[in-house]
């Protein structure tokens, strides 16, 4: 695959600029000696509104709205499963908690989207560094849930791997973009080393699902940066060997793969999810009218797509899939007109990570992929996951903000713009 880096090196920087110049106030104080602070805030808001990708923002808010309704539908099933004789959880227990997390997430997303590109990059790299360091602590002092040690108890439960998703694509994009300045820097080797350490830390928890998601994001970005396809086969072979080793050393992962390949019992989670999903037909049983969801584990998180299918029908599921596809297409269309290598790599990486998580969850619910314990982004209930996803979306909007008054050159995937 031809590298895109040379093309970026040839392009000048004459197109840089922001909408701020179109809204710049005259120098000096306002008439009457009034403070210009209020006007400056309004102007900054106007600049943000002009530069942000509004269609993509609308899709994100739509998905979060669907998530609020879906969690309300799945909350009774999970609340009753977790209730005890000593304490009975209200049916909407998880819905109320989810709404709080959503409000915090929206605030975090809007704040992150207001950052300039350099500030967004620095913030993401800082988050990635802190969460990478936290992953070293998880096997030692982590909190264990359902046989997996993935959380740190810091007054609140924190899952470092969820927040690492915020900065992982931007960290990789930053390192890979060094190649545009100096082709002799072994950026791919550095990234492979970081990925190997990350995979080892995740499998110590163990968390095979996150390992595959981070690896998939890494693969997309390395390929887009122009990594030699002939060498990729060797690394693919190493990956296959590692998966075989995982199969024989990680019992939970082996059971999930066996159930997917050879079929399990009628009470397996994936089988229950598919039955729940199909029970609603095309139009669904109606809100809070689902029956099979009551036997479904993690109805408000991992298998919320099945709850949507039972209560709102397959048509609603198709709409959700279309919204995810529309978001990915919109982001990629935005990146086509970019002239900056870092922006293209970071935006593509975040889109790949977001889309990969969404479609893995959906395929698991359709019994087309082994169970991974992965939430449906922006829809499933979550604390760490909701905040992390909203921060990721905010940073994506920040690095893809663009002055609409400036026409940009399109980059070419061919080094010299020809077919040779």
Q: Do the domain assignments include residue 44?
A: no
Q: Do the domain assignments include residue 77?
A: yes
Q: Do the domain assignments include residue 52?
A: no
Q: Do the domain assignments include residue 405?
A: no
Structure-model confidence comparison of residues 334 and 228, the more confident one: 334
Residues of the domain holding 189? 58-399
For Cα atoms 237, 241, 243, give the angle at the middle one, nearest 5 degrees: 115
Q: Is the peptide bond before 39 cis (omega within 30 degrees of 0)?
A: no
Query: What are the E-state strand segments in 2-71?
Result: none
SS3 99: helix
Q: 118-135, pLDDT tens digit by residue?
A: 999 999 999 999 999 989
How many domains is the chain partitioned into structurally? 1
Q: Do the domain assignments include residue 202?
A: yes
Specify burial of residue 16 (Cβ count, 10 A radius: 0-12, 13-18, 19+): exposed
Q: Is residue 407's pLDDT more than 60?
A: no
Q: 221-258, pLDDT tens digit by residue?
A: 888 877 666 666 666 677 677 777 766 666 666 666 66
Poorest-confidence range of 9-13, 304-308, 388-392? Answer: 9-13
SS3 337: coil
Q: What is the DSSP string of 205-261?
A: TT-HHHHHHHHHHHHHHHHHTT--HHHHHHHHHHHHHHHHHHHHH-HHHHHHHHHHH
* Residue 59: per-residue pLDDT: 96
* Residue 338: per-residue pLDDT: 80
Q: Do the domain assignments include residue 38?
A: no
SS3 19: coil
Residue 367 structure tokens = 């019994």
Q: Is the pTM of this model over 0.75?
A: yes
What is the pLDDT confidence band of residue 55, given thresholds at 50, 70 and 90?
very high
* Percentage of residues in the chain having pLDDT higher than 70: 76
Q: Do the domain assignments include residue 185?
A: yes
Contact 106, 153 (CB under 8 A): no
Q: Do the domain assignments include residue 112?
A: yes
Burial 44-70 (b: 16+ CB within 10 A, else e): eeebbebbbbeebbebbebbbebbebb
Residue 223 structure tokens = 């390929």
């Amino acid at each position: 695959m031809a590298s895109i880096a040379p093309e970026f090196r040839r392009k000048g920087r004459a197109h840089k600029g922001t909408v701020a110049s179109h809204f710049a106030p005259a120098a000096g104080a306002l008439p009457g000696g009034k403070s210009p602070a209020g006007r400056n805030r309004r102007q900054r808001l106007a600049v943000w509104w002009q530069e942000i990708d509004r269609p993509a923002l609308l899709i994100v808010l739509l998905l979060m709205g669907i998530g609020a309704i879906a969690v309300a539908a799945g909350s009774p099933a999970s609340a009753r499963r977790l209730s005890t004789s000593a304490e009975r959880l209200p049916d909407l227990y998880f819905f109320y908690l989810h709404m709080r997390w959503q409000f915090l997430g929206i605030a975090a997303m809007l704040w992150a989207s207001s950052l300039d590109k350099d500030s967004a990059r620095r913030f993401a790299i800082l988050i990635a560094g802190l969460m990478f360091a936290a992953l070293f602590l998880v096997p030692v002092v982590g909190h264990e849930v359902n046989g997996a040690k993935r959380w740190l108890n810091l007054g609140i439960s924190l899952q470092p791997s969820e927040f690492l998703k915020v900065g992982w694509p931007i960290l990789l994009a930053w390192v890979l973009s060094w190649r545009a300045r100096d082709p002799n820097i072994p950026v791919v080797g550095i990234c492979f080393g970081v990925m190997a350490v990350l995979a080892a830390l995740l499998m110590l928890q163990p968390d095979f699902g996150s390992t595959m998601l981070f690896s998939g994001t890494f693969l997309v970005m390395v390929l887009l940066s122009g990594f030699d396809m002939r060498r990729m086969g060797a690394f693919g072979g190493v990956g296959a060997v590692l998966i075989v080793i995982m199969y024989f050393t990680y019992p939970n992962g082996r059971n999930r793969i066996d159930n997917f390949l050879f079929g399990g019992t009628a009470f397996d989670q994936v089988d229950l999810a598919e039955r729940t999903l199909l029970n609603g037909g095309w139009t669904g049983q109606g809100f809070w009218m689902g029956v099979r969801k009551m036997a479904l584990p993690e109805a408000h998180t991992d298998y919320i797509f099945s709850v949507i299918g039972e209560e709102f029908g397959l048509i609603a599921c198709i709409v959700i899939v279309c919204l995810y596809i529309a978001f990915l297409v919109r982001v990629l269309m935005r990146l086509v007109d970019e002239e900056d290598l870092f922006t293209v790599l970071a935006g593509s990486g975040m889109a790949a990570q977001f889309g990969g998580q969404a479609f893995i969850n959906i395929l698991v619910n359709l019994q087309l992929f082994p169970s991974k314990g992965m939430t449906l982004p922006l829809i499933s209930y979550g604390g760490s996951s909701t905040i992390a996803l909203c921060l990721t979306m905010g940073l994506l909007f920040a690095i893809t903000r663009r002055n609409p008054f400036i026409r940009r050159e399109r980059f070419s995937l061919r080094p010299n713009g020809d077919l040779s």
